[in-house]
Amino acid sequence: MASVIEQCQVAPSPGSAAELTLPLTYFDHGWLGFHRMRRILFYKLPISRPDFVQTIIPTLKDSLSLTLKHYIPLAGNVACPQDWSGYPELRYITGDSVSVIFSESDMDFNYLVGNHPRDANDFYHFIPQLAEPKDAPGFQLAPVLAIQVTLFPNHGISIGFTNHHVAGDGATIVKFVRAWALLNKFDGDEQFLDKEFIPFYDRSVIKDPNGVGMSIWDEMKKYKHMMTMSDIVTPPDKVRGTFIITRNDIGKLKNLILSRRPNLTHVTSFTVTCAYVWTCVIKSEAAIVEEIDENGMEFFGCAADCRAQFNPPLPPSYFGNALVGYVARTRHVDLAGKEGFIIAAELIGEAIQKRMKDEEWILSGSWFKEFGKVDEKRSVSVAGSPKLDLYAADFGWGRAEKLEFVSIDSGDSISMSLSKSKDSDGDLEIGLSLSKTRMNAFAAMFTHGLSFL
């Protein structure tokens, strides 16, 4: 499906720091055993193979090298103690680099960038796998980033990113991608790199008065037999679908909530969209399961950037993870009934509002304990955020044609991706990966419900 044109290693450009070590904070530890994050950006660009080889590849390598000068931990490794006695850390030394594959495919570009259900396996040809960990004295070193750029001759280009979540959250990775895009678009002129794209590395701003980092790390070590530093890729037997919820639909959903629950205060676009998708997902299960425990608990989990919740706030460009999770839960019968959407919106809104400005809850690590009580097989979670606009990553070829969160295929839970719409400000784009039967059921419910607003 994709034949390799060139495989290379791209290192930070001259003038970079010789080395950098970043200790992991209590926001990072929990991601050590998490599946790798995989995203693909597709761009319409009618370019031939000779042009791709002679112009696109060299400029992408040069601009990536320049970008890594600012984001050098992404060229490094996560270093995990082999005996699990010490703490893991991010470590870059001179000579480290990012694996980059340039490839070519004859697959139907228009099929891949569509919204209709598409075979999830098809996308794994365009995302790289992280290299195997290497042994170093006392540590295992696992790379944190790999990139694959694929040409669809005379149609377009895709850029696939695989990264270890322990290196940084969505805000960090999106800033890296957009910084790379800017430097590629403007021929490496760093004056176009706004301050927001220059990472802030000082980990001392993360205060840990309660020793949460140590307690989370001790908890993680209990499951070390289940964790691997290797990047394991298991393409699923699923289809991927994309759904657009318009600003107008969102407004109607908000009005519906407020007409039934006029005293609710946290009725946002995020809340109502997640609540609507959650209830449609729950109801779609009837298409594949004959008997469902109506009193069984269902869970909805989402993560929020808490950089602004600290006192003083962390810089927006803080490099790393600064996410806390919120969990809403209720019985299956509550969500599957006529009032399911109202109940879901109320629960999600309350969970977010209760914790959004609770610095003590953040500093105590209570959010980490909450996720330990979630049954993954009965949960829906969110990847991405409308606040992070990857569609705006313009490498000089215009806005991206399509964004795919390939990693929502992974894990026992159902994960939805959520992002700004490509075309219209205020619209939101939802990605799902489900079995074909369940996807058809979800699509019918999603469309039918909106048509009655």
Report pLDDT for 95: 95
Report pLDDT for 166: 95
Phi and psi at 319, nearest 5°, equal: -90, 120
Catalytic residue among 165, 169, 249, 334: 165
Residues of the chain with CATH 3.30.559.10: 1-224, 237-450
Report pLDDT for 5: 97
Element (H, E) at 99: strand 98-104
* Domain at 237-450: CATH code: 3.30.559.10
189 class by beta-carbon count within 10 Å (0-12 exposed, 13-18 middle, 19+ buried): exposed
Q: Which two tokens stand for residue 352?
A: 């977010």
Q: Is 194 a catalytic residue?
A: no
Note the CATH architecture for domain 1-224.
2-Layer Sandwich (3.30)
Ramachandran area for residue 43 (φ above 0: left; ψ -120 to 50: alpha; else beta): beta
Sign for the CA dihedral angle at 152, 158, 164, 167 comes to positive
Please name the residues in contact with 212: beta carbons below 8 A apart, sequence gap of 6 or more: 26, 363, 364, 365, 368
- Tens-digit pLDDT string for the chain (453 aa): 899 999 999 999 998 889 999 999 999 988 988 889 999 999 999 999 999 999 999 999 999 999 999 999 999 999 999 888 888 999 999 999 999 999 999 999 999 999 999 999 999 999 999 999 999 998 999 999 999 999 999 999 999 999 999 999 999 999 999 999 999 999 999 998 988 999 999 999 998 888 888 888 888 888 776 678 888 888 789 999 999 999 999 999 999 999 998 888 889 999 999 999 999 999 999 888 888 899 999 999 998 899 988 888 999 999 999 998 889 999 999 999 999 999 999 999 998 888 777 778 888 888 888 777 889 999 999 999 999 999 999 999 999 999 999 999 988 889 999 999 988 889 999 999 999 999 999 999 999 999 987
> Mapping DSSP to helix (H, G, I), strand (E, B) and coil, where does residue 147 land?
strand
Taking CA atoms, 384 is separated from 10, 320, 420, 433, in Å, by: 27, 15, 10, 14
The answer to whether 41 and 150 have CB atoms below 8 angstroms apart is: no
> Mapping DSSP to helix (H, G, I), strand (E, B) and coil, where does residue 221 land?
helix
- Distance, in Å, from the CA atom of 78 to the CA atom of 233, rounded to the nearest integer, reads 19
Element (H, E) at 258: helix 247-260
Taking CA atoms, 199 is separated from 67, 194, 389, 446, in Å, by: 11, 11, 17, 39
pTM confidence score: 0.96
Q: Is 448 a catalytic residue?
A: no
- Distance, in Å, from the CA atom of 248 to the CA atom of 70, rounded to the nearest integer, reads 40
Sign for the CA dihedral angle at 4, 5, 9, 15 comes to negative
